[in-house]
Chain A
Amino acid sequence: MTGAPVTTAASPPAQPPAPPTPAAPPVVEQPRPRPSETGVWIAIAAISMTFAALTSAMVVRGSAAADWRHFRLPPILYLNTAVLLASSAVLEAGRRRVAGHLVWVTLGLGLVFVAGQIVAWRQLAAQGLFLATSPSSAFFYVFTALHGLHLLGGLGGLGYVLRRFDAAGPAPVPALGAAALYWHFMDVLWLCVLVLLVLRV
């Protein structure tokens, strides 16, 4: 796709030499770029920017006034983290073996994580910490909710992959790769959010 030299007005059009591929084995993996994976990388860039903006807003808001209330994070968050990391490991195994049942397990673990986050919210609310209580709790809810929404998008992606598994035809290798990439990013993003919340909240 790239690499051909640019012809100028003076030079004759390049004669593309016949690619020397007679000895190549039957195609194992398509060499052409995979749009779904590129798309996920671009989405990763944009989502990172969103969370970077929120982080800077958190820093600025934290120093704007002396009403930042520190509180202990609900311990269930660490359990949720373990569940999420495990789901990622399972999905990676599923991606390598192109195994649909492992994707199902990931889907289940993802739902467990979301349920765990909701439990964490309820525990905070039971302590009297609501969205508007303090800027610290506000940012906690905003960060976790936004991460949760993106994670639900990832669950949708996994559901799409599973539908393709069920359908006739070859296994959806590129889609599975893209979904796995996104899911791993959700891990990394959650770890960043968690570290940030531990440090600031």
Chain B
Amino acid sequence: MTHATVAGAHGHAPPQGFLRKHVFSLDHKVIGKQYLDLALVAVCTGMVLSWLMRFHLAWPETPIPGLAKLSPNGAAGGVITPEYYLSLMTMHGTIMVFFVLTTAPFAGFGNYFLPIQVGAEDMAFPRINMMSFWVTLVAFLVLISAFVVGDGPPLSGWTAYAPLSAVGKDAGPGQGVGQTLWAVSITLFCVAQLLGALNFVTTTLDLRTKGMSLARMPYSTWAWFITSVIGLIAFAVLMPACILLILDRVAGTSFFIPAGLVISDRLQPHAGGSPLLWQHLFWFFGHPEVYIAILPGFGIISHILPVFARKPLLGPRVLIACLIAIAFLSYTVWGHHMFLSGMNPFSATLFSVPTLVITIPATIVTLLWIGTIYGARLRFTTPALFCLGFVSVFVSGGISGFFLAQPSIDTYLHGTYFVVGHFHFVMGVAAMFGIFAATYFWAPKMFGRMMNETLGKWHFWLTFIGVYCVFMPMHYLGLAGNVRRYSAFTDDYLKPLIPLHRFITIAALCTGAAQLIFLFNLIRSRFRGPQAPDNPWEATSLEWSTTSPPPFDNFGGRPPVVERGPNEYGIASGARGMDYAMQAAAAPVSAR
């Protein structure tokens, strides 16, 4: 393995010092790993917050040891107040959606593998790429600082609905400094992701190696490419919306605050704004954001499944057409989050139709995966199991989406746990399974070490069963009328449901504990795992033609020449009796 002395066509020479190499690095691989490490910190934070919430829901009177130290006002004596519960919920949602589900599958794995998969030495603009990560990190720190600054974290939800989010500290604890920090953090995050998406699109369009036509790109690359196009448009709308929100909060403007608004017995000194405007702007971003979180998962599953099915993916062109269709349609459905917002009921119908239409390409993609494994001699490795788990939870969560797409049914279910179960399955857990599949699949390439399969399978089965125990009963709770966002269920009609809540809480704590297996496996194999060969899974795409881990410029100074698509599995004509054919026939970096 030569960490070659290549500067050549590469925009920058290999760095020497520790800081330039591992911290302020321009290398897309280091930046990708930094994104993934950030997501790991964020997901642990978000998960602990969800444990606190679940514990409080099941045992609202029982104090949580140590919590009073973190928040003397929000949890005096360790018991969470209703306001602090909302703060925890807000921070959980914001951290998970922005800093985990966007950061890990898209910015993290995309950064690491998109350039390698198209045969490039780096991203098109390495400096912008580095800036994108550091701005994301600052955004995360700004958000987290809300825990210790002022009155605590904001409580208006990850959607930050105006006017609650716009009026300042009259609206409750955390709505002063905390909510401003939230808005600043999200503005920064938008800037960072716009810079990142700019790099992804340009790299895909301009830096493909010889022979890598668009039709030969791996499906994960396609998904990252389409996701970055979605992100360019979505974050470009959320950013000005957040700027207007900040102005409402600190400069006295009235974009989102209506006239005559009285909060906490105080008439707000604003006039004429439109709270609905915030919802439109937010959800115009917010719904595409769901696809920013899940489409990389689609790509990862489509990339990994054929490897372990040892069969070509069924209908690759149909898959790409469906991904593009989803991207287009994702901009026509935002109003289905607003059926209850007081907008014109006719527009609810208008938004309901594309919401149902978008299920068609999503269903086709699912059928393509099932068709791919149909009749295959599946290799049941950990990444393969997580792919199958992804399909399962995505279908489970998707089906409840059919119900919610109907305005008349949504009117009843929108404020209940049915919605909580739905989006945690289809967006949260499904995307997480995509992240896990990608981690187990690509860890050998990223760290040059194999992860432990036995621990991986334990992790999969405990997580798989666990998430069903957590989120499936929530659908039942919702049908039974259990409202969401409440911090305790003391009403008579909700009391019979408390045992079920306790079951969910115990399941959530156990599922969370099972993630320690993953953490242990990840950290241990990063340093102690067995050496990974260049192509441990017998896959075709370009990242497997180079060493594990790849050299600084990815291919040791010899860019690969691509001769075929990524889908050549289960063929008889492979070289040396292999049942697959690499995209670049001659490995440019000699295998060790």
Contact = CB atoms under 8 A, between A and B. Distances in A.
A99 B281 CA distance: 44
B1 interface: no
B201 to A, nearest CB: 5
Interface in A127-181: 131-132, 135, 138, 142, 146
Contacts of B273: 61, 64-65, 135
B449 interface: no
Interface string B255-294: 1001100000000000111101100110010000000000
Interface stretch (A8-16, A114-122, A192-200): A8-16
A42 B567 CA distance: 30
Contact of A65 (B240, B241, B247, B271): B271
A90 B568 CA distance: 54
Contacts of B243: 142, 146
A93 interface: no
Nearest to B573: A9
Contacts of A14: 563
A32 B202 CA distance: 13
A47 B207 CA distance: 23
A33 B210 CA distance: 13
Nearest to A3: B213
Given A7-B565, A65-B259, A2 B280 contact: no
Given A47-B236, A57-B244, A57-B277, A132 B253 contact: yes
Contacts of A38: 124, 201-202, 205-206
Given A60-B277, A67-B271, A132-B251, A7 B214 contact: no
Contact of A2 (B214, B237, B241, B568): B214
Nearest to B207: A35
Contacts of B567: 9
Given A38-B205, A57-B244, A49 B232 contact: yes
A142 B241 CA distance: 11
Contacts of B585: 13
Given A7-B563, A42-B198, A132 B216 contact: no
B564 A50 contact: no
Contacts of A28: none
B236 A46 contact: yes
A61 B281 CA distance: 12
Contacts of B206: 32-35, 38
A39 B123 CA distance: 12
A1 B208 contact: yes
B124 A146 contact: no
B205 A33 contact: yes
A53 B241 contact: yes
A45 interface: yes
Interface string A48-87: 0110011001001100111100000000000000000000
Interface in A19-48: 32-35, 38-39, 42-43, 45-47
Contact of A9 (B207, B208, B272, B568): B568
Given A6-B565, A49-B232, A57-B255, A39 B125 contact: yes
Size bracket of the B interface: 35 or more
B274 A60 contact: yes
Contacts of A131: 247, 251-253
B322 to A, nearest CB: 19
Contact of B194 (A2, A46, A65): A46
Interface string B560-587: 0001110110010100000000000100
A4 interface: yes
Contact of B247 (A1, A43, A142): A142
Contacts of A13: 563-564, 585
Contact of B198 (A2, A34, A39, A50): A39
A49 B236 contact: yes
A57 B236 contact: no
Nearest to A16: B211
Contacts of A65: 258-259, 271-274
A146 to B, nearest CB: 7
B272 A135 contact: yes
B312 A64 contact: no
B124 A45 contact: no
Nearest to B252: A132
Contacts of B568: 9
Nearest to A131: B251
A68 to B, nearest CB: 8
Nearest to B570: A9
B252 to A, nearest CB: 4
Nearest to B567: A9
B233 A1 contact: no
A14 to B, nearest CB: 7
8 contacts: A33-B205, A43-B198, A49-B232, A54-B240, A65-B259, A131-B252, A135-B254, A135-B273
Given A2-B213, A9-B571, A138-B254, 20 more contacts: A1-B208, A6-B213, A6-B564, A13-B563, A34-B206, A39-B124, A42-B198, A42-B202, A46-B194, A46-B197, A46-B198, A57-B241, A61-B274, A65-B272, A67-B271, A67-B272, A131-B251, A138-B255, A142-B244, A146-B240
Listed from nearest, the 10 A-B pairs whose CB atoms lie closest are A65-B272, A132-B252, A49-B236, A64-B274, A35-B124, A67-B272, A33-B206, A53-B237, A13-B563, A46-B236
